[in-house]
Each structure stands twice: as C-alpha cells, then as structure tokens.
Amino acid sequence: MRHAKLVSGTLIGVAVALILFGALAVPASAVQLTVGAQGQFTTIQSAIEAAQSGDTIFIGPGTYVENVAVNKPLTIAAASTRPTIQAADSSKDVFAVTSAGVRIEGLKVTGGASGIAILNTSRCTITNLIATNNARAVYLVHSANNEITYSNLAGNGYGVYSDYSSNNNINFNNATGEKGAGNALGDGIYLNYGGSNQITNNELSANHVYGLSLYHSIRNIISKNTISDKNTSAFDSARDPTTTRSPLTRSAGTRNLVL
C-alpha cells in the first residue's frame, strides 16, 4: 500500500511539472502598442524599444519629427488617419530597417535621405506608403525578398533606389516626378546590380531622366508598367555595357524579361 501511494504521488508530481512546463513553453501573444497624444508612447522610437518581436505599433494622427531605427520584426501602421513622420535629421533615413520581417503600412514619410531604407535584410513589406521630398523614397541595400506595393513614391530624388538587391517585388506603385538631387539622375526605379526582381504595374512617367534604369542588372521581370514622357523612357546597361544610355528593348542582350 505504501509503495502504491509513493507511485501515485510521483505520478501526480510529474503531471504537475508537465503542466507547468507546457504553460511556460507557450509563446507570449503579440501586443499592440500605441503612439500619439492618446497613446502609450509619444515617440515611435520609444514604442519600438519597448516592443517585442511580432508586436504591432499603431501610430495616431499628427506629425512626428524623428529618425526611426527598426531592429526587430514589427508591424508599424497608421491607427486611423495617416500620420506624417518627418526626418529630424535630413541627412539620415526617416526609417532605417535592419530587421527581417518588418511591415510598414499607411504612413507618410518625408524629408530624409530615404523615406524607408531596408538595409541588409529580407522579408519586409512596405505598403500603402506616401513618401515625398526624400532623396530616395525607398532604398534597398543588399536586401532580398521584400515587397514594395501600392505606394505613392512621387516627388523625391528617386522613387525606388536599389543597390545589390535581388528577388524583390516592386508592384503597383506611383513613382513619378522624381527630380534627382545634385548630379543624380532622378529615375522612377533604379536597379544597380540587381537580379531576379519583379517590377510590375508601376506608374513611372514624367521623371527627371528615366522611368526605369537597370545598371548591370539581369534576370529581372518587367511588365505592365507605364513609362512615358521624357527623353528615353527606360535604360538597361546589360544590353550594351559600353553604352552609357540606351533604350530598353526585348533584345536577348538585355538579359531581362520584358513583357
């Protein structure tokens, strides 16, 4: 009898331990944080510092003067009316994203070196953005598998400026009226050593020089874009690397698929 009681007690103890372990193993649920006059935080950066991976930060209406660093996977979105985030230091990016898995949605970004810079990372989504009066609306650097969609990127130096970035989707954006800066050309979309990107359904007209430029960029899929109004609508250096500027065509020498 005593032995049976000991076995029973041991089994109960094991069961309790397993229940406790299971409770501890359940990941914490994502949290929603708020920024603004009625929010938990007055700055976006302070909310990011308090957030955990997977959390969502909602930004209330108004203008926020900040340069924001995003170093963890978060969703950062407008709470209701679109807020404006203006660079505190115009020589720096409004948002500098260095974490994979970041989503930025429904904001207006202005006055920075880049509206959104995606730096050495992947799987980020930029959507429903307004970016204006930046040197670059969106800047991709050594980054892959990101999405830039349904955004108004008009009125910057460049719409999308991509350096050594591949496998990104740049779709359904407006990148018009890009004016360059200093000696910069001012293109709607500029790819520098970029491969296997998809560029579709973008409005790329009325830019300072080109709607679309590809410099040493291959295996990109380019389709259903509107490019008109200015000198040469598009340029692909892969067609003839010795030529500074030439029209983009379906020639096999371009090494990009133009549909």
User: What is the count of structural domains for the chain?
Assistant: 1
Radius of gyration of the chain (CA): 24
pLDDT number for residue 226: 86
214 burial type by CB count under 10 A (0-12 exposed, 13-18 middle, 19+ buried): buried
- Give domain status of residue 177, yes or no: yes
- Give domain status of residue 131, yes or no: yes
- Mean pLDDT by groups of 10 residues along the chain of 259 residues: 46 46 55 96 98 98 98 98 98 98 98 98 98 97 98 95 97 93 77 93 88 87 80 51 36 52
The CATH number assigned to the domain holding 130 equals 2.160.20.10
Enter the pTM of the model.
0.83
User: Residue 146 contacts by C-beta under 8 Å, 6 or more apart in sequence?
Assistant: 118, 121, 122, 123, 124, 125, 126, 140, 165, 168, 169
User: Residue 74 contacts by C-beta under 8 Å, 6 or more apart in sequence?
Assistant: 48, 51, 53, 54, 55, 56, 57, 99, 102, 103
- Give domain status of residue 86, yes or no: yes
- Give domain status of residue 149, yes or no: yes
Strands 147-149 and 130-132: unpaired
- Give domain status of residue 17, yes or no: no
- Give domain status of residue 3, yes or no: no
What does the alpha-carbon distance between residue 213 and residue 209 come to, in Å, rounded to a whole number?
A: 9
- Give domain status of residue 34, yes or no: yes
- Give domain status of residue 248, yes or no: yes
pLDDT number for residue 236: 54
Domain assignment of residue 60, given as a range: 29-258
